[in-house]
């Protein structure tokens, strides 16, 4: 038996393997709200344009509301034989209201229907991700404010570089998340055009009001080219690109949490909420939540790469290959959403070992740059010469097994006789971070100001 939705030319149904590879209902049923909303807007427009009768439009709207209630209540029976969410909804609509259901598909195709539904779904998902990123920023900024003066080692090449504050480190991720939100906002703006009414690829001979359906669905305008409207998946790729970058940012922080919580460093503690134990080693506390956030980044990047490969060779307009745009994207964005929730929770949960952080900040001659800067300021030595002199002083301290601020003044004067007692005023880690007052620097007063600024902005954006 042929498919009653499209089978007029066919005398029999698809084979089992064809049905298996062709069906998308297992994942595109997630679009049910968007599909029903778009169908209601389409029916209203058809009635307003006199293309279908008002009575039929009323029956269609009532039937679609009933279907929505059935799906929400878990009473709707999704049928794989009907392939996708569009045919499942239309099939059930026919059972509920009879022949009037057949008028709903006038002047549209599954091509513009799915493009519309997925844009609506992607827009809703971006809005949810933006809210989650804002929550992540709030957690970071609040923790940064609490630890604006907590000194820790700043690293380059994973080697001790200069002392910074823990608050300053966390605020770096607030900035990253702000850029992530900007990328999602850009993607949202570009996707917000309605494909509905483009039909299969060439538009339609019916006198549609595409502005009406675009407005009803919250789009800025209808898509201007019917070929592009049904075949464009830039909005998915761009959203996945933004998601990939956001996931990389989360993964970087997750990696740092894994390093910080290791007994080898012991800079930060996580509670039982975000750690697990071992089945054989009773002493273990594993930062599994951070490790899983780090791993899920692969899913997100993989989804982007997969869709880029799908789209790279497709001629205009629609091809069934595009059915592969949803499952990977939905999985990836769900992974990002879960990762954001986990990371937001971990940021709130983690507690730094401030004494250990401060000690680590002083290891590795982290205030050597402060010494070089002092030589430039106080003795008017060119920086390159000061750099060389400081390296020699560091070597002498290392030979004696002493930190810079414990090296005797006489030992420093053997290298540069003009060094005075006041050199010790810049060699402690506390004084080092307090001196970094340039805009964007790690000085505690800078960190407090920036943390408060972000918290005010995030509160204002929320209201």
**Radius of gyration from C-alpha coordinates of the chain:** 30
Among residues 12, 157, 205, 463, which one is catalytic? 157
Residue 180 and residue 457 in contact, taking contact as beta carbons nearer than 8 Å: no
**278 annotated active-site:** yes
What does each C-alpha distance from 453 to 127, 130, 142 come to in angstroms? Answer: 23, 19, 11
Pick the closest to residue 181 from 461, 449, 463 (CA basis).
Answer: 461
Distance, in Å, from the CA atom of 187 to the CA atom of 329, rounded to the nearest integer, reads: 14
What does each C-alpha distance from 140 to 56, 149, 268, 334, 451 come to in angstroms? Answer: 54, 15, 15, 22, 9
Q: Which residues contact 161 (CB under 8 A, 6 or more apart)?
A: 153, 154, 155, 366
Distance, in Å, from the CA atom of 433 to the CA atom of 425, rounded to the nearest integer, reads: 12
Q: Which residues contact 6 (CB under 8 A, 6 or more apart)?
A: none
Residue 451 and residue 171 in contact, taking contact as beta carbons nearer than 8 Å: yes
Pick the closest to residue 167 from 456, 427, 432, 433 (CA basis).
Answer: 433
Among residues 2, 69, 271, 278, which one is catalytic? 278
Three-class DSSP category at 227? helix
The HSE-up count of residue 195 (CA atoms within 13 Å, CB side) is 31
Residue 171 and residue 450 in contact, taking contact as beta carbons nearer than 8 Å: yes
What is the distance of C-alpha 301 from the center of its chain? 11
Distance spanning both ends of the chain, measured CA to CA: 57
Task: Name the residue with tokens 């940012």.
Answer: 249
Distance, in Å, from the CA atom of 325 to the CA atom of 329, rounded to the nearest integer, reads: 6
Three-class DSSP category at 196? coil
Q: How many CB atoms lie within 10 A of CB 74?
A: 6
Q: What are the phi and psi torsion angles at 193 (to 5°)?
A: -125, 140
- Angle of helix 166-191 relative to helix 234-261, nearest 10 degrees, comes to 170
In the chain, DSSP finds a helix count (H) and a strand count (E) of 18, 6
Pick the closest to residue 108 from 29, 184, 206, 18 (CA basis).
Answer: 206
**168 annotated active-site:** no
**Residues assigned a catalytic role:** 157, 278
């Amino acid at each position: 038996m042929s498919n009653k939705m499209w089978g007029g030319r066919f005398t029999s149904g698809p084979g089992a393997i064809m049905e298996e590879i062709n069906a998308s209902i297992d994942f595109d049923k997630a679009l049910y709200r968007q599909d029903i909303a778009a169908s209601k807007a389409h029916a209203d427009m058809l009635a307003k344009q006199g293309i279908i009768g008002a009575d039929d439009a009323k029956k269609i709207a009532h039937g679609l509301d009933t279907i929505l209630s059935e799906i929400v209540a878990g009473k709707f029976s999704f049928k794989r034989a009907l392939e996708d969410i569009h045919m499942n909804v239309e099939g059930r609509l026919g059972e509920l209201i009879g022949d009037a259901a057949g008028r709903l598909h006038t002047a549209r195709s599954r091509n513009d229907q799915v493009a519309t539904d997925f844009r609506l779904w992607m827009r809703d998902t971006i809005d949810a991700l933006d809210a989650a990123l804002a929550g992540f920023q709030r957690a970071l900024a609040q923790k940064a404010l609490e630890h604006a003066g907590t000194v820790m080692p700043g690293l380059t090449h994973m080697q001790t570089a200069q002392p910074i504050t823990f608050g300053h480190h966390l605020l770096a991720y607030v900035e990253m998340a702000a850029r992530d939100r900007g990328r999602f906002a850009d993607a949202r703006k570009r996707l917000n055009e309605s494909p509905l009414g483009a039909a299969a690829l060439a538009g339609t001979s019916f006198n549609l009001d595409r502005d009406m359906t675009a407005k009803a669905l919250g789009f800025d305008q209808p898509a201007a080219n019917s070929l592009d409207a049904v075949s464009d998946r830039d909005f998915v790729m761009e959203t996945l690109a933004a998601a990939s970058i956001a996931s990389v940012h989360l993964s970087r922080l997750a990696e740092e949490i894994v390093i910080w919580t290791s007994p080898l460093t012991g800079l930060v503690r996580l509670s039982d909420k975000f750690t697990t134990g071992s089945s054989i080693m009773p002493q273990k506390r594993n930062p599994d939540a951070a490790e899983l956030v780090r791993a899920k980044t692969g899913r997100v990047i993989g989804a982007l790469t997969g869709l880029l490969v799908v789209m790279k060779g497709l001629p205009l307009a629609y091809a069934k290959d595009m059915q592969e745009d949803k499952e990977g994207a939905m999985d990836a964005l769900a992974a990002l959403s879960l990762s954001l929730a986990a990371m937001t929770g971990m940021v709130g949960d983690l507690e730094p070992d401030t004494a250990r952080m401060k000690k680590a900040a002083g290891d590795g001659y982290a205030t050597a740059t402060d010494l070089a800067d002092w030589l430039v300021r106080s003795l008017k030595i060119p920086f390159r010469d000061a750099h060389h002199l400081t390296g020699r002083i560091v070597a002498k301290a290392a030979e004696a097994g002493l930190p810079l601020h414990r090296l005797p003044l006489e030992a420093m004067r053997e290298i540069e006789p003009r060094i005075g007692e006041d050199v010790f005023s810049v060699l402690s880690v506390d004084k080092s971070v307090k001196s970094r007052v340039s805009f964007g620097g790690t000085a505690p007063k800078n960190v407090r100001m920036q943390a408060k600024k972000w918290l005010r902005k995030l509160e204002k954006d929320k209201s």
